[in-house]
């Protein structure tokens, strides 16, 4: 999966503007280079977070990555309908690790089921320990966007400061689930430790 390809630039339809403007802005954000104020102001935080979530898959290795026939690459979203909608727009027709992408909005932790990435929205982040415990040690990348999630055992926290989104990564939590982060991602993130 690449950030931006010539195919995405030329692809006609409603996603052309999204990919041509938004993904280059995301590359600038990930690389730590300052983006122009007009570009940053053009996107809502939910759009930026959705792009971060989508692109995280390029920087994470799962222990069973080698089986593209294993079904769709599921990104589950709990507690944030706006991020789920933005992910649906962004990933329409896309593939991650050779698999079609499926976005699964969830109403409760009991609905989690099988997924590769679980986003825990701020609305339910107070229940982070119970939500993560319900995963039962599965190889699921957990992502959130709140202080409560960051204090828990979540793996990636998207922290908004002003107009910028910063990454916090809990390597210990990821390794416990058998996941490994690419060193390029770790260079731009703040490494955090969960509370015991």
- The tens digit of pLDDT for each residue in 53-105 reads 999 999 999 987 656 567 899 999 999 999 999 999 999 999 998 899 999 99
Residue with tokens 């590769």: 116
What's the confidence (pLDDT) of residue 78? 97
Alpha-carbon dihedral sign for residues 13, 15, 21, 24: negative
pTM metric for this prediction: 0.78
Q: Kindly report the backbone phi and psi dihedral angles of residue 36, in degrees, each rounded to the nearest multiple of 5, phi listed first.
A: -60, 150
Helices (H) and strands (E) in the chain, counts: 10, 10
What's the confidence (pLDDT) of residue 150? 78
The answer to the question of residue 173 being in a domain is yes
- Structural domain of 110: 45-191
The answer to the question of residue 29 being in a domain is no
HSE at residue 181, side-chain half, CA atoms within 13 A, is 25
The answer to the question of residue 141 being in a domain is yes
Residue 108 tokens read as 């409760």
What's the confidence (pLDDT) of residue 196? 53
How many domains does the chain divide into? 1
Of residues 2 and 79, more confidently modeled = 79
**Which residues are 10's β-sheet partners?**
none
The answer to the question of residue 14 being in a domain is no
The answer to the question of residue 62 being in a domain is yes
CATH code for the domain in which residue 163 is found: 3.40.50.2300
The answer to the question of residue 171 being in a domain is yes
The answer to the question of residue 15 being in a domain is no
- Measured CA to CA, the distance from residue 93 to residue 97 in angstroms comes to 13
């Amino acid at each position: 999966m690449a950030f931006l390809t010539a195919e995405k630039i030329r692809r006609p339809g409603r996603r052309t503007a999204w990919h041509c403007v938004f993904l280059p802005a995301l590359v600038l954000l990930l690389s730590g280079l300052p983006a122009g104020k007009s570009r940053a102001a053009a996107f809502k935080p939910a759009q930026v977070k959705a792009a971060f979530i989508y692109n995280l898959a390029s920087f994470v290795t799962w222990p069973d990555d080698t089986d593209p026939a294993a079904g769709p690459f599921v990104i589950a979203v709990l507690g944030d309908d706006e991020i789920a909608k933005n992910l649906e727009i962004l990933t329409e027709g896309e593939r991650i690790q050779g698999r079609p992408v499926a976005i699964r909005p969830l109403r409760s932790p009991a609905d989690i089921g099988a997924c590769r990435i679980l986003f825990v929205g701020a609305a339910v982040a107070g229940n982070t320990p119970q939500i993560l415990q319900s995963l039962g040690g599965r190889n699921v990348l957990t992502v959130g966007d709140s202080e409560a999630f960051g204090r828990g055992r979540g793996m990636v926290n998207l922290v908004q400061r002003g107009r910028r989104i910063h990454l916090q990564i809990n390597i210990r939590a990821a390794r416990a689930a058998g996941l490994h982060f690419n060193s390029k991602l770790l260079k731009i993130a703040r490494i955090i430790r969960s509370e015991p």
